């Protein structure tokens, strides 16, 4: 079973601070997806990274896929209270038509 481990599990920061959360695996993934889930809602897809070493930016969020495609990181610049939520990484085990594997997530709280 391919596992995705996310760290830290919990993170509480002040508004305006920067932060990085991590998603690691001992196995290779063909791609990784990042989702954000707010209380009372389902996860919402933020981005998919596909190529080893790829960097994608979504406003203040920067996503990176490791060169070996075993890890990914999410960096948030100048966090805002609206960034509060559970950040999940997920990936399809490679190769084959198998369901996504999800990490347990990083719960981020941004305090004003």
Binding of another protein by 91 (CB under 8 A):
yes
The smaller minimum CB distance to another protein, of residues 99 and 112, is found at 99
Q: What is the DSSP track for 64-92?
A: EE-TTSSEEEEEESS--GGG-EEEEEEEP
Q: Are strands 106-111 and 44-49 parallel, antiparallel or unpaired?
A: unpaired
Mask: binding to another protein, 14-53, rule CB under 8 A, as x and -?
----------------xx-x-x----xxxxxx--x-----
Binding residue count for another protein, defined by CB under 8 A: 26
Residue number, 48 or 62, with CB nearest to another protein: 48
Q: Closest Cα to residue 23, out of 79, 94, 101?
A: 101
Instruction: For the chain, state the CA radius of gyration.
Output: 13
Which residues make up the interface to another protein (CB under 8 A)? 30-31, 33, 35, 40-45, 48, 88, 90-93, 96-105
């Amino acid at each position: 079973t391919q596992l995705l481990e996310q760290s830290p599990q919990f993170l509480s920061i002040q508004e305006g601070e920067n932060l990085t959360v991590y998603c690691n695996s001992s196995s290779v993934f063909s791609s990784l997806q990042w989702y954000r889930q707010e209380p009372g809602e389902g996860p919402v897809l933020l981005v998919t990274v596909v190529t080893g070493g790829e960097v994608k930016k979504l406003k203040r969020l920067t996503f990176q896929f490791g060169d070996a495609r075993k890890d990914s990181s999410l960096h948030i610049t100048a966090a805002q209270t609206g960034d509060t939520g559970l950040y999940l990484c997920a990936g399809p085990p490679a190769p084959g038509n198998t369901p996504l594997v999800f990490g347990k997530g990083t719960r981020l709280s941004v305090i004003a």
